Amino acid sequence: MSGPRHHDVLVVGGGNAGISLAAKLRRDGCRNVAVVEPRTTHHYRPLLSYVASGMATLDDLRRPEGDVVPDGVRWYIDEVAAVDPQASHVRLASGEVLHCTDLAVCPGSQVDWDAVPGAQAAMATPAAATSYLPELATKTWTLLSSLTSGTAVFAVSDRHVPCSPVALKPLLTAADHWRRTGLLDAIDVHLVHEGAALVGEARADRELRAAAERFGVRVRMRTAVESVDPEAQTLRLSGPDGSDELRYDAFYLAPPHRAPAWIAESGLATAASDGFVAVDPHTLQHTEHPAIWGLGDAADVQTPPSGGALRKQVPVVAHNIAARRTGAPMNRYQGYTVAPVTTDRRRLLLGEFDRDGTPEPTFRFPDLVRPRRTLLAFDRYLEPPIYWHRLLKGKVS
C-alpha cells in the first residue's frame, strides 16, 4: 500500500500569501511545490473597499484560481482538516493525507460572527453591510449611497481585522459623497473604533482624524460593538465611559476575525497567539516545529495584517525554508505593514510602519503620508495589475 503523497513544500492557502510564496519558491528553483486551496475564484481583496465605496466592481477583483496557480505547482481543491506537525502530515477534508518536508501555513483569517452577537443576522437586513465579504461589498455602497437622512454608524474592530484602516475608506468616501450631494448635514455620522488609534503610524493617524473632523464625524475610540439588535436597528456599545445603545439607519462593520479552527486543534497555536499560527515574528518559523512556517492573516506576526506586509513576509519565508536546510543565516522580517486609506473621493494617504509604529516609508520623497490624488490613482488603478502580473508571479522583494 502506497503512503501519503509527498511534496517538498506544501503551502496551505491560495490567496495572496500562498500563491506569491508558491511562485517565489518555484522561481528560486524548488521543483515540488503544492498548494491547498478550496476556492476556485481568486479575489484581489484590497479592491473590496473600493467596491464598498462605489469605485470598483467585483469583476475588477476576480480571477479564476486556476489562472493564478503557478506553472508546475500542484493544486489540491480541498480544505485542510488537520495537521500532524510531528509527522509532517496534512489531512484534507476529502480524507487524503499529504506529506511534506516544509509546510507553509497561510489560509487567511475568517470573520468571527460569534464575537458580536446579532451582527451576522443584521447583515441579512437592508440596513447593514460590510466590505470584508465579497457578497456584501456591493451592498455596502448601495446602502450608503441611498441614505438621505438619519444615522450612519461605522464600526471597526481591532480583533485581527485584516488591514483594518481600509475600513475607513467607505466612511470617508461616503461622507464626501453626502457632502457633494448636499446631504451631509442631514446625516449623523458616527465612527465607533475599538482601538486606541485609527492607524498605527502617528502622522497618518492625525491625517485621518482631521479628515473625519472635516466631515463632522463623531469619533468614539476604545469602544466596541458588544451586540447588534437587527430588528430594532440598535447597537450595544462598550467603552471607557461604560455601556450604552446607539440606533442606526445604516450600519457598516469591519468585524472581528479568527484563524481557522484546525490551526489550534492541530497544536499550531499557543495561548499567546490567540488561535493563530505561533511563529517567531522575525523569521516566521513556528516556535516549536522548525519545518512549519506561518505568514499572512492567519499567523501571529505581531504587526497589523495587510496585503502589503506580504511583500516583505514572502521573501523571508522563501529564503528561510532553504536556509533551514543548509544551515545558512535566516533573513528577518521587521514587521513592515501598510495602510492605504482614502481621505475623500479624490485623495489617499499611505501609512507605512513597523510593528513598533515607527515609520518605514518605501520612498523618502514624496511624502506618502500626505493625502494625494496620485496615490489614490496608483492604489486603485496601478496596484491591481502589479498584483496580478508581478506579486502573484513571485516577483516580490
Q: What are the backbone angles phi and psi of residue 133, rounded to the nearest 5°?
A: -130, 130
Write down the pTM of the prediction. 0.96
Cα–Cα dist 173/376, whole Å = 12
- Predicted local distance difference test score (pLDDT) of residue 250: 98
- Predicted local distance difference test score (pLDDT) of residue 50: 98
In 3D, which of 143, 148, 115, 120 has the Cα closest to residue 133?
A: 120
| DSSP-derived secondary structure letter, 5 | E
| DSSP-derived secondary structure letter, 286 | B
The CATH number, out of the four listed (3.50.50.60, 3.40.980.10, 3.40.50.300, 3.30.70.260), of the domain defined by the range 112-256: 3.50.50.60
196 — alpha (psi -120 to 50), left (phi > 0) or beta?
A: alpha
Cα–Cα dist 44/303, whole Å = 21
pLDDT tens for the chain, 397 residues long, are: 367 899 999 999 999 999 999 999 999 999 999 999 999 999 999 999 999 999 999 999 999 999 999 999 999 999 999 999 999 999 999 999 999 999 999 999 999 999 999 999 999 999 999 999 999 999 999 999 999 999 999 999 999 999 999 999 999 999 999 999 999 999 999 999 999 999 999 999 999 999 999 999 999 999 999 999 999 999 999 999 899 999 999 999 999 999 999 999 999 999 999 999 999 999 999 999 999 999 999 999 999 999 999 999 999 999 999 999 999 999 999 999 999 999 999 999 999 999 999 999 988 878 999 999 999 999 999 999 999 999 999 998 6
- Predicted local distance difference test score (pLDDT) of residue 1: 39
The CATH number, out of the four listed (3.20.110.10, 3.50.50.60, 3.40.50.150, 3.20.20.80), of the domain defined by the range 5-109+259-335+388-393: 3.50.50.60
Give the pLDDT confidence of 114-153 residue by residue, as tens digits: 999 999 999 999 999 999 999 999 999 999 999 999 999 9
Q: Is 142 helix (H, G, I), strand (E, B) or coil?
A: helix
Count the Cβ atoms, other than its own, within 10 Å of residue 19: 27
Span(s) in the chain for CATH 3.50.50.60: 5-109+259-335+388-393, 112-256
